[in-house]
Each structure stands twice: as structure tokens, then as C-alpha cells.
Structure 1
């Protein structure tokens, strides 16, 4: 339990720094919770969230966008690999 909580805190702090300390803890957590996608079989994913200042900052900080159109499965896999670096 300790390890999970500790890692969560470290990840949150890194994200907070990457976003330039512009957002509170609750804004980051709620913003991430609201970033959902709907899968269209054979096509990819459609974002179901509303674009906000937080999502724009997140996209700008990490160098990719997920809020414009259908995201192909291959591109979504690339996003995951970018975030793991």
C-alpha cells in the first residue's frame, strides 16, 4: 500500500512540475478523470471530454493532442509510449 501511494504522489508531483505549477492537485486529478474516450471498433477512439485550459496545457507539455478527431489505435499506442518515457 505504501509503495502504491508513494508512487502516485511522485507521479502527481512530476506532472505538476511538467505543467508549470499552474494547476492544483484537485484540478489535475479531476482533469485526468474527465479525459475519457469512446472506442469505435475498427476505427479508433473519439475523445468524450471537453477541451479546457488543463487539457491544452497537458497536450502542449507532452507534445500530442487527443481532442481534435478520431485517434487511430496505432496513434493511441504511440501516445502511451511517449508518456512512459
Structure 2
């Protein structure tokens, strides 16, 4: 009798565990979907940040080139002014 009762209790415990697992499975699936969505959003944000960093680096490069061009133009004006001062025929 005790063995039958122990088996019945064990069967009820196993059945309870199976019911709990089967009920929690959709919750796990929902959590997995939320995790995937969050991962996708995080990847998109990371890509956006990488694009911003790349754009920032390009902008910095263009500003550096612009400064160099401006400095070159100032030097050219200075050369032209000097040339025109000493030889006004060429201006």
C-alpha cells in the first residue's frame, strides 16, 4: 500500500512539473522573442553609432582639408601680392 501511495505521489509530482513546464513554455517563447527584438534594436543602434563615428571622422578630415586649402589660398594671395608689387606688368 505504501509503495502504491508513493508511486501515486511521485506521479502527481511529475505531472505537476510537466504542467508547470508546459505552461511556462509560451512565456519562455515570448521572452525569447523579446530578447531577439531587443538584440535587433541594439544591433541597429550600434550600426547607427558606427555610421555616426564614420561620418564624424569624414567631417573632421574635410575640415582639416578645408583649413589646408584656406591656408594655401592665403599663401597664394601673398605670393601674388608680392609678385605684383615687384613686377606690376604681370598682374
TM surpasses 0.5: no
- Larger RCO, structures 1/2 (Cα 8 Å, 6+ apart): 1
> Which has more strand, going by share of residues?
1
User: TM-score w.r.t. structure 2 length?
Assistant: 0.23
User: TM-score w.r.t. structure 1 length?
Assistant: 0.24
| Larger radius of gyration between Structure 1 and Structure 2 | 2
